[in-house]
Amino acid sequence: MNSWLIFILIIIGSGYFLELFVMSLNIKALSPVLPQEFADTFAGDEYQKSQNYTRATSKFGLIESTFSTAFILLFLLLGGFNQLDLLARSFGYESIITGLIYTAFFLLIFTTLSLPFSIYSTFIIEEKYGFNRTTIKTFITDLIKVIILSVVIGGPLLALVLWFFETCGPLAWLYCWVGVVLISVLLQLLAPVLIMPLFNKFTPLEEGSLKNKIEEYATREQFKIQGIFTMDGSKRSTKANAFFTGFGRFRKIVFFDNLMDKLSEEEIIAVLAHEMGHYKLHHIPKLLIASIIQTGILFFLLSLFIANEGLFAAFSMDHLSIYASLFFFGFLYTPINLLISILFNLFARKNEFQADKYAVSSTGGSQQLVNGLKKLSRTNLSNLTPHPLFVFLHYSHPPILERIKTLRRLKC
């Protein structure tokens, strides 16, 4: 058997069983006893409901992972990648267009296969636990918009990458790196203006006490903002959130509309202060730099496996191509991506603690942020007792109890 094939099968299998093991640990870690910290937050059977929600989403995730893993294995072992390549080549176009056709077919297959799971998650699980507000019309419209954006943005970007690797020789990975980074930064600048409004409606926060308090706080912290907006998050879910968007003087504060009903004005300011802490402590540019470095590493490693004959033989391919190399390299990159994601999550959790500390020092206390976090945990049916290994692998935020304990130790 091809050694590359053996290696890829090991990657797929170990990834699946690792996730199965960690998810099982996380389910077993659910404690039937409500943590004392939340005795004043969860009423009646709300805590049991949050545990049932974690079990339901975890088990459903395992079912979806089992199905997708089994399909990938069958698709690989039965020569599906090659058959798809032959179909794409049958149209008779040059290599870049053929690569776009190949990618489109591949994404169409896996989008179609994942669609039933997305429908079940949205309209059965999320509906059962009171989160879903997505209508069938909104679901279909969102799907169409995502497909259009993938074609309009993803298509030209992929074509650019293929063109660089076909024409620029050994330095192609460097040109890809620079090109993708520049386009990504441009998209981040344009997203709040052109992309996000395609999915949600942004409304300026109405005049009143909350807006005045936010503006006073931003002025006191010397934080310039272009505007304060609410977003119709309740259009799709009852889950609440808040975030900043934009760069420099174009920064905007955005609150989910359902957040306004769940938190007091002081608690909203505390949540805002936490988000502002990420900006003040330069977490955003640091994360951007780290992502840029990661992208460079990815393209350099990719360049080492372009049209690798042994790798193509593992996928039973009749023809070598740059576009298929991108897909095959994705399998090899999976372990590296896991390690990088663990590192990113480690720094992200550290940043959350730092942003919490900033919020406490800039608002004069920790209690309002604690109250806000507890209310959001109840609203979102958060898992209060996740397993440490699950946190280590997947959490970009510290567990809520750990955050609250740390907050209570902070002094203004």
Q: Count of CB atoms within 10 A of residue 48's CB?
A: 12
- Look at the alpha carbons of 409, 393, 243, 179 in this order and tell me if their dihedral is positive or negative: positive
- Alpha carbon distance 73, 81 (integer Å): 11
- Alpha carbon distance 303, 297 (integer Å): 10
Contact present, 404 and 370 (Cβ < 8 Å): yes
- Alpha carbon distance 370, 167 (integer Å): 56
Among 348, 358, 364, CA closest to 398: 348
- Alpha carbon distance 322, 162 (integer Å): 7
Contacts of 186 (CB under 8 A, 6+ apart): none
Helix residue ranges per DSSP H, 309-399: 309-314, 322-363, 367-379, 388-394
Contact present, 375 and 262 (Cβ < 8 Å): yes
Kindly list the catalytic residues.
275, 356
Rounded to 10°, the helix 95-120/46-77 angle is 150
Contact present, 53 and 129 (Cβ < 8 Å): yes
Contact present, 408 and 366 (Cβ < 8 Å): yes
Phi, psi of 40 (to 5 degrees): -95, 5
Q: Distances from the Cα of 264 to the Cαs of 206, 209, 213, 259, in angstroms?
A: 16, 11, 12, 9
DSSP code for 205: P
